[in-house]
Amino acid sequence: MDPTTGEPITSPDAPIKLQVPPFKMRLSGYQVGRPDVLVLFALSTAVGHYAGQTEHWYAELGVNGLRPVLEGDLEVDAVPLAAETEATLEAWVRSLSPAFTCRRQVRSTDWNRGAVVVASGNQSRLYWMPHPDNTLEILGLLLVTDKNGQLVSTAWYRSSAPAEDGYAFRSESFNGRLTLVLDDDGNPSSDPDLIKKEVSWHSIVMPLP
């Protein structure tokens, strides 16, 4: 049963699904005491004015937006949805501002092979951690900002092909360190091959790179 609505959870064969399970996630700077910089919650059904079958991404805004805090590792904290209301979701978001929402049909065929191509003028940062479903695999997260440092797009990477249901992962609860990918000169890079070579990388983008 869906803990938010009490209704049956949509089956994996339904035509519309999220690319992640219904859950909530925070990203913060890895240093102790750093505030949240990104928040995501993914809903299977609507909660008040928050649409269902949608990922809702929130980010720090302001001068230079996210860019200053995306120069180091991040801490991720993901938890299952509870009996959510508009008030509990607003409390989860705190002071962050809407970045974008992503509503789409997702199957394994929606994933692409290889690296994500980022639009000219945008800046990207790639992070990775052991996959929460299988620590022998790798989960990557690409964050894309515009010239003002505002979040415009994200992408999940997997080091193996997704199952037919198209999920980036099925775990609803995990935490750990997202390590920033650097090239040989110590500069941030969005090349997943720098995480691990000879891997068949698969990616899915929300909403557009």
Query: 152-202 pLDDT, tens per residue?
Result: 899 999 999 998 888 899 899 999 999 999 999 999 999 999 999 989 999
| Residue 103 pLDDT grade (very low, low, confident, very high; cuts 50, 70, 90) | confident
Scan for tokens 């990557």, then name that residue. Answer: 140
| Structure tokens belonging to residue 166 | 């198209």
Q: What is the pTM of this model?
A: 0.85
List Cα–Cα distances, 35 to 25, 62, 180, in angstroms: 14, 15, 18
Rounded Cα distance, 74 and 34, in Å? 10
3 in a structural domain: no
| Structure tokens belonging to residue 105 | 């049909």
Rounded Cα distance, 178 and 131, in Å? 11
Rounded Cα distance, 39 and 151, in Å? 11
Per the structure, how many domains does the chain have?
Answer: 1
180 in a structural domain: yes
121 in a structural domain: yes
5 in a structural domain: no
For 69, the domain range is: 23-206
105 in a structural domain: yes
92 in a structural domain: yes
81 in a structural domain: yes
77 in a structural domain: yes
Rounded Cα distance, 184 and 6, in Å? 51
